[in-house]
Structure 1
Amino acid sequence: MIVDSDRWKEALAERGLPPLQGMLAEGGRVSVSRKDIFDLGEKTLDSENALQLLYYSLAWGLGTRASRLHQRLDGLAKNPQKAEKLLVDAWTSVKREAPVKEAYGTLIFDRGRARISWLGPAFATKFLYFAQGNEADARHLILDQVVAKNLRPDAWPGSPTAAWFPEIYERYCNLLSAWAKEASEKLCNSREVSADEIEMTLFKRHKWMTQGEQVSAG
């Protein structure tokens, strides 16, 4: 994902938030991969690194357009100490292999509302996902509107497309893990299919469907 790091640096400085570290601190347009952020998830678990992990998770998810970046950073700037503590608690839950819904509940209230303003389920789950580090078998998976929408026709009829309770998030992660296991078995265990591969496929399905609609319209 290409990130406009200059825009990020300026927005953080305007709010008095800690600056970017690593590759995004260099300025210009920077390519950030999932692997780059997983590496951050392997760093020492403290408030400084938790904030950097969030920055990179957000930057990767928002891309060059960085939709509503200012509102999201305003949410952090309201109470940075509280935000850092919540992020550290969530990361700690992931690392000690707490139940998925428990880690999720650290950042999201029981009814799906964000504990940190503008850090709703879509970006909270990105943080949890990357907080796992370079795990071979991801337990905490990204869930956003695109993935939820693409699940509805085949496996999740009537599912919410914006706010997900901790129990629903846990069911989602369990479902994709079960599908990954089934896919591995169909390959005669020649290789392990990971749950996040299923998530990526569901997300990309949005692009395939959109392209198909465009072709039909033409």
Structure 2
Amino acid sequence: MPIAANTPLPSYVSGFLPGEETVMGQSIQVDASRWQKALADRGLPSLEGILASPGLRHVSRRVVFELGARDITPENAFQLLYYSLAWGLGKRARKFNKRLDGLAEDQENTAKLLTEAWTAVRSGEPAEVVYSTLTTSRGKARIPQFGPAFSTKFLYFAQGPDIPPRYVILDKVVAGSLHEAWPGAPKAGWYPDAYGRYCSFISRWADLATEEINGARKVRADEIEFTLFTRK
């Protein structure tokens, strides 16, 4: 069933608007040493920044967003990918080795797809178009083991920190929290048009939230995503 675009803003969202600082500060603990060894073992480009140091490190949304402001190059695209993956996977890093095996399978093609996706984001293409650079029309990953949920994380962070996000993270937790507006929502493998409708829907709820606080500030779309993800 498609998402019901006219669903009113629920009180569990309007009553909990975290604000930009809380969203940007959301931090995840990452085992940098594990990442460094795994990348070296596969001949993948090495890490830069805080994850180039050994031990446990904290990666926030802000840190990853800053990578999205860099020049679009294959080298920078790999760094943005690593950090968006590390932030999404956390310390436990489910299916960590399989995911990195997928990235290493064809590094040239991985770099090509990532730079194409980043360029589409920078150009402000429609959400379904930017999503389609990393995901097929049937919701399958174009980069092995780098599925739709992580594709949306890469697209989200590729926007950089200087503009309100148009492309928003979608994963099984967020989809499951939208059961009133999107009953029976798939938990993975979203088609491009579904992702496009989702981004439009979240932006609409952000606009409604802005109205509810009488325009005191502009509510960001990722505040809505954050609220859905942390919903109890």
TM-score (norm. length: structure 2) = 0.87
One-letter amino acid of the structure 1 residue matched with residue 57 of structure 2: V
Counterpart pick for 1:48 among 51, 71, 75:
75
Counterpart pick for 2:196 among 170, 190, 214:
170
TM superposition outliers: structure 1 runs of 4+ over 2 Å: none
Unaligned runs of 5+ in 1: 209-218
One-letter amino acid of the structure 2 residue matched with residue 88 of structure 1: T
Alignment of 1:1-218 (within 5 A): 1-152=28-179, 154-205=180-231, 208=232
One-letter amino acid of the structure 1 residue matched with residue 68 of structure 2: G
Q: What do you get for the CA RMSD once the two structures are aligned?
A: 0.7
1:80-136 CA-to-partner distances (Å, cap 9, x unmatched) read 000000000000000000111100000000000000011111100000000000143
Corresponding residue SS for 2:133: helix
Question: In the aligned structure 1, how far is the partner of 2:87 from the partner of 2:188?
Answer: 20
Deviation for aligned residue 1:161 = 1.1
Question: In the aligned structure 2, how far is the partner of 1:135 from the partner of 1:156?
Answer: 30
One-letter amino acid of the structure 1 residue matched with residue 108 of structure 2: Q
Unaligned runs of 5+ in 2: 1-27
Corresponding residue SS for 2:57: strand
Deviation for aligned residue 1:57 = 0.3
Question: Which structure's relative contact order is higher, taking Cα pairs within 8 Å and 6+ residues apart?
Answer: 2
The structure whose residues are more often helix, as a share, is: 1
1:154-194 CA-to-partner distances (Å, cap 9, x unmatched) read 11012211110000000000000000001101111001111
Q: How many correspondences in the alignment? A: 205
